Amino acid sequence: MSATIQPTRPTVEPREDQTFHHGTRSDFNAWFFRVFDRYINHIARHHKREAFAGMRAGDIVELGAGVGANFAHLPAGARVLAVEPSRAMHDELVARATDRAVDLTVLGACAEDLPIPDASVDEVICSLVLCTVKDQAAALAEIRRVLRPGGSFRFVEHVAAPAWSPRRWLQHAIRRPWSWLFEGCDLCRDTVASVEEAGFREMQVRRARFRRSLFTPVNSAVYGYGIR
C-alpha cells in the first residue's frame, strides 16, 4: 500500500502503472457515459436511491467514478476520493466536480490496489464497476480494508441474468465483443456471490431489473450495502 494522499480539490493523482487509455475505445467510453449517464441514472433511480440513502458526509471513496454519474447522490460536505483508472474520464470528472462544488480528488488507480490507508474512510460506493474490475475478490478485500469499522459499502451493479432466460443466452452470445468495446465489462458475473463472500456485516442485497431499459444485456441488476 502506498502513502496517504491528502486531498486538495479538485485534482488528479495518477498512478502511471494503473491508469490506462485504450485510444478510441477509451474515448468512446468517456463519450458514452457523458451522453447516456442521465438516461442510466433514470433507469437505475430506484436502485441508487435505496443503495445510496443515508450516506454520511465524511470521507467517501467512489470506485470507477466514470464521469461523475453519482455526484447527485453524494451528501453535501463530503470529501470524495474518486478512483478512476481511465484517463479519458478524468477531464469530465473534474469539470463536473467543479460545477457542482464537489470536494473531489481523482485517484488514477484501480479498485484492486487502492492507494488509501487502512480504516480511513466512512463510505465506499460504486455503480456498474464490479462487472469490470479484473479481480472482484481483490477489489472487495480492498474495500473492507479502507473502510473504518462501522463504515458501509454501497453498490448498484449489473449481473448475469437468471439461468436459461433469453437474456442469459444473449449475454453469453455477445460477451466477448461487449467486453472489448466496454473495456473489460463482463456481462456474466455472479457479483452477489462475491459480495456475500467478502465478509461484510448486515448485508442487504436486492435483485431488481432496470425497468424499461434499452440496454437489454445489462438489465439484471443487484444493489445493496454491507457494513465493515
Ligand X SMILES: C[S@@+](CC[C@H](N)C(=O)[O-])C[C@H]1O[C@@H](n2cnc3c(N)ncnc32)[C@H](O)[C@@H]1O
Binding site for ligand X (CB under 6 A): 33, 37, 63-66, 69, 83-86, 89, 110-112, 127-129, 132-134, 184-185
Shortest Å distance, C-beta 75 to ligand X:
18
Residues 6+ apart with CB under 8 A from 119: 145, 146, 147, 148, 149
Q: Helix, strand or coil for residue 9? A: coil
Between residues 111 and 161, which has the closer beta carbon with respect to ligand X?
A: 111
Shortest Å distance, C-beta 114 to ligand X:
9
In contact, 111 and 63? CB cutoff 8 Å: yes
For the chain, the helix, strand and coil percentages under 3-state DSSP, each to the nearest 5 = 35, 25, 40
Q: Name the helix (H) or strand (E) containing 60.
A: strand 59-63
Between residues 154 and 202, which has the closer beta carbon with respect to ligand X?
A: 154
Shortest Å distance, C-beta 164 to ligand X:
26
**How far from chain centre, in Å, is Cα 70?**
9
Shortest Å distance, C-beta 89 to ligand X:
5
Between residues 48 and 228, which has the closer beta carbon with respect to ligand X?
A: 48
Between residues 111 and 198, which has the closer beta carbon with respect to ligand X?
A: 111
